[in-house]
Amino acid sequence: MSTASTRGKLFAALARRLEYVTDGQLSLACQAQRRDPSRELADILVAQGAIDARNRALVEDAVESQLAPHAGDVEACFAAIHDKGWVPAVLFAEGSDAPTAAGEPTGPEPPVEPLVEPVDDAGDTVALGRYSSGGSRYELLERKFSGGVGEVWIAHDRELSRDVLLKQVLPGLAEHPQSRGRFLRETRTGAILEHPGIVPVYDIGQHPGGQLFQVMQYFRPGSLHKKIAAYHLAHPGAIDELAFRTLLGHFATACRAIDFVHTRGILHLDIKPQNIVTGEYGETQIIDWGLSQITDADMLEKIHEESGTFASGSAHGHSGTRDSGGNSASLDAMPRGLRGTPAYAAPEQWTGDPDVLSPRTDVYGLGATLFEILAGKAPFNREMPTIGEDVEIGNLHREMKPWAPPALRAICRKAMNVKPGDRYATAAALADDIDRFLADEPVAAWPDPWRVRLWRFVKRHRTAVAAAGMLLATTTVALAIGNVLVARERDAKERARKEAVAQRDLAERNAAMTRGVIADFIETVADDQWGQIPGTGQLRLDAVKSVVDKVPALLAQQPDNPDLKYDAALIYRRCANLYRVLGLDAATAAEGEKLESEALDKLRALLAE
């Protein structure tokens, strides 16, 4: 296989994976390429109108994203996606081998089945667009897929001018009683479950050849499986918060819908992303009740009652998948009695015993759907997983993406627990944990570490934490400023104290020096040598008096200084002696006595202190 041819098939496989094209469109494109090998599959798909230019660009981006881990090696990349189950069989020519990662062929693929199934009786063949309950109301546009009993088409309702999904029994099984009974019970089950999360059944009919069909609401763009695949192709190595939360929102809605189904006494038993359809405006609904089981007696009677012209002719069965005459062909083909899809089935579904099934079985299917959201693939990709592999659930969950949040990992593990009793008791409990995760609340399946609790508290109380932070910052700044101001005030006071001490010391030194000068002056004036000079008596008294008059001012400056008081007493005493010695007149004598008295008073006061 050439590199160009392999890249074309890589493009086609990813386009199918993203559900931009159908198997039928790929089959027609492959046939056209076999007729003209020079044309590329992408060009053929665009020319046929199967894919537009915008979607082609998106698929090309997905191709480059898948090639990156393989260093651009197209062959290795194609082998890798084939091992993941992403390569549809229609991409291989008849008789060719499909690649594997080890380079070993797995054997020829079966030929592509025709778009229209053959019928046993040519008289039962009805032209396209003629299947209806009243003429030619529904025009079949494109077959989406087919199963063991029926096939699903996109059809146009001519009377109401809208596109619908039309599911019909395969032509070869049109008159098979068990197939008709199963189809009728599936249709009635879907019709009786009126809920926003359940795809509504619009109509039921039968064409002249005997084929039963049901008409359901049609949603674009398609299943949750497609959204999951598109998400992981666009974000292979990191989480995109908005898109990821959208996937979880669809999943939680599906859980609520299944919980409603359980309250009506019905088990779905085939929950998987392909059976959860999503609309363009956030709608989420459950489809496909072909394997459902009725556990409520009243509901069972209501579903199985015969009415109208479409009676199956079969007796009441235990469930929508078990007939009185035996299991259908599709159930016979299931391994070990499995009731469900192998990649998503709970361990108890492998026993084939309907009595062991419960709402917790559907919880497992929801957990497997959550696993695909977190891992980008189904829990089991091999054709037939064993119960032993199911037991190794811990190893299975290691395949989740590294960015998968721990809380969601724990939720998935709890939902997919091997023991039904250890799973969520109801689908609503599972939805509640998803809602708590989306609301950034603690989930029941996983105890939060203290760091997560602290961060959640911070986020939940943003305003209070921000206010506390501002208050703390303001307080810190205020304290810092206060400390600076206090330090400045303390320094100023210390400088003032030191200056006061210095001034006091200076004043004391000056006072002491002044006292010494006065004492020396008086002692000099009182010296007897001055008495030998005629006419100096009065002059000496006036000089002493002028000096003595300054002593009270000195005492006023330092009233508590004992040295100053003592020196003042000595000065008064010496002056009194000088006045007494000179004795010029009575006034002078009186002044001397006064000074003597003051000197004695000051000495007595100092002795008392």
- For 336-345, the pLDDT digits (tens) are 456 678 889 8
Q: What is the mean pLDDT of residues 316-327?
A: 37
**508 in the same domain as 359:** no
447 belongs to a structural domain: yes
Which of 123-127, 454-458, 540-544, 566-570 is predicted with the least confidence, judged by mean pLDDT?
123-127
Highest mean pLDDT among 30-44, 164-178, 246-260, 561-575: 246-260
Average pLDDT of the chain to the nearest whole number: 77
> What is the DSSP code (8-state) at residue 215?
E
532 belongs to a structural domain: yes
Evaluated on CA atoms 407, 410, 412, 415, the torsion sign reads: negative
Q: What are phi and psi of 152, to 5 degrees?
A: -115, 135
pLDDT band at 119 (very low <50, low <70, confident <90, very high): very low
**528 in the same domain as 454:** no
368: CATH: 1.10.510.10
Residue type, 553: A
CB 595 within 8 A of CB 575: yes
Q: Which of 91, 111, 143 is the last residue of a domain?
A: 91
**516 in the same domain as 399:** no
pLDDT band at 433 (very low <50, low <70, confident <90, very high): very high
Q: What is the mean pLDDT of residues 579-589?
A: 70
pLDDT band at 361 (very low <50, low <70, confident <90, very high): very high
Token pair of 369, please?
Answer: 């759907």
Residue type, 530: W
127 belongs to a structural domain: no
**368 in the same domain as 239:** yes
* pLDDT given for residue 601 in this prediction: 80
> What is the DSSP code (8-state) at residue 164?
E
**532 in the same domain as 441:** no
**456 in the same domain as 391:** yes
**78 in the same domain as 22:** yes
DSSP annotation string for 369-381: HHHHHHHSS-S--
Strands (E), 149-291: 150-157, 162-169, 201-206, 212-217, 221-223, 266-267, 276-279, 284-286
pLDDT band at 309 (very low <50, low <70, confident <90, very high): low
554 belongs to a structural domain: yes
**521 in the same domain as 585:** yes
**531 in the same domain as 410:** no
528 belongs to a structural domain: yes
Spatial separation of the C-alpha atoms in residues 332 and 324, rounded to whole Å: 14
Biggest alpha carbon–alpha carbon distance for the chain: 177
207 belongs to a structural domain: no
30 belongs to a structural domain: yes
pLDDT higher than threshold 60 for residue 391 = no
**413 in the same domain as 277:** yes
**558 in the same domain as 435:** no
Q: Which of 91, 121, 151 is the last residue of a domain?
A: 91
Note the pLDDT tens digit of each residue in 231-289: 998 888 888 899 999 999 999 999 999 999 999 999 999 999 999 999 888 899 999 88
Which of 119-123, 282-286, 480-484, 520-524 is predicted with the least confidence, judged by mean pLDDT?
119-123
**433 in the same domain as 386:** yes
Cα angle, residue 413 at apex, residues 412 and 416 outer, rounded to 5°? 85
299 belongs to a structural domain: no
Q: What percent of the chain has pLDDT over 90?
A: 20
Q: Which of 460, 488, 509 is the last residue of a domain?
A: 460
* Count of structural domains, the chain: 3
Domain that holds residue 265: 224-282+334-460
Note the pLDDT tens digit of each residue in 452-470: 666 666 666 667 777 878 8
* 3 state SS of 463: helix
* pLDDT given for residue 248 in this prediction: 96
Highest mean pLDDT among 141-145, 289-293, 451-455, 550-554: 289-293
Q: What percent of the chain has pLDDT over 70?
A: 78
pLDDT band at 535 (very low <50, low <70, confident <90, very high): low
Total Cβ atoms within 10 A of residue 122:
8
